[in-house]
Structure 1
Amino acid sequence: MDREVRLTRMHRILTETGNNFAGSARTYRERFPEDEQPPSRQSFRRLAATEAEHGVLKRPREQRIKPVVDGPVREEVENAIRENGRQSLRRLARTLQVPRESVRTIVKGQSFYPYKHVRLHKLCPGDDERRLTYCRWGLDRLREDPDFYRRVCHTDEAIFTNLEISRTANTAGSSTSGSE
């Protein structure tokens, strides 16, 4: 069905029902049962808001800002990424006062992909001794009380070390992989 015809029908019904959104949706379904996807009450609410804001059925089209990807802007973005590759694209765009889409296009052109930095399991120097001490302590507790680990130790699949318990998810990300 033509969008203009549908909007006109919706406008007429909305006027007849006195801006009753649920009643408008019900009336539309009754009058036009052949419509496979009749508008919901939220659709009528959006239509009323558009009419109130712009005085017309259709919103005026916004001009799309074309991304700037050449010249000094490209150099600024590339330098900023080299300095701090962990900064979000949105923050980088705000800092450089460049449209976010321009930053995204430049970054993608350099074969970088946005990702979230996450913590992963990692063994550090000195962990061997701490782990051994922890194991000895655990065995001593187990000798004293055979049910110790059943009552005390549990995990929820979070990072669990002898230094800390962190509730972040154990996932990985990469700034040069193609998956997002």
Structure 2
Amino acid sequence: MIFVYGYCHGRAREAEREYRRMFPNRRRHPSFGVFIRTFRRLRQTGSVQVRKNQEGRGYRNIQQYEENIIERVVDTPELSVRQIGRELQIPHVSVWRVLHQELLHPYHYQQVQHLQEGDNLQRLLFCNWILQNLTEDPLFLQNIIWSDESLFPKNGLNNFRNLHQWSLQNPHLTRRRAFQRRFKINMWGVIFRNKLFLFEINGILNGQRYLELLQNSTHEILDEVPLNERQYVYFLQDGAPPHNARDVSAWLTEN
């Protein structure tokens, strides 16, 4: 096992596959977790044998479930330690300890924008266009008007998982929510040549309001740009429905 583990440069899953290939007729094959534990034991104690103080009843009881725990995690990575513990009828703390010994970590999902067919190509073309223009003009990004809108409610947008405060004593922190009197503000923001411009949107954004916003704010954004340079300025917006309204597209094309 140690030879196979070293042959695979310490990659446990690859060592598991290589061991099965080298010894196909053996009744049982070690899982990748066995490779990790055996090598760690050899490195820490100088021996691959389990130490006597680890041969207690509780350790043996958990040890017989280790492969079942690893198999469940490999088959269904979204399982919680409590769910695995209920299925195997062992404490969830023991499940967590086994997974920790296997160097497994519960990584969280990250929300990303849904892409439709053809979006990847459009983004690739956009990136190539940016890189090509940057090669010709290192200050090209300063000629782009970056714009977007966002809705800000009174209670804010809080991520309570990362919202904490270090203290020697419990400060009993609270964060207000479910206000009886609520309000929200819709803002349109623009970044252009190291300046931030903010404009309030009256009501829900639609094509007509967005057109009025563009007509009333363009002069302020381009106020310090000479007329002979405005032809090289690009306006960037996302694919929100109000941005693609017929009147908006016509006005942007004309101006």
TM-score (norm 1): 0.34
Q: Relative contact order: is structure 1 or structure 2 higher (C-alpha 8 Å, sep ≥ 6)? A: 1
Is the strand fraction higher in 1 or 2? Answer: 2
Q: TM-score, normalised by structure 2?
A: 0.25
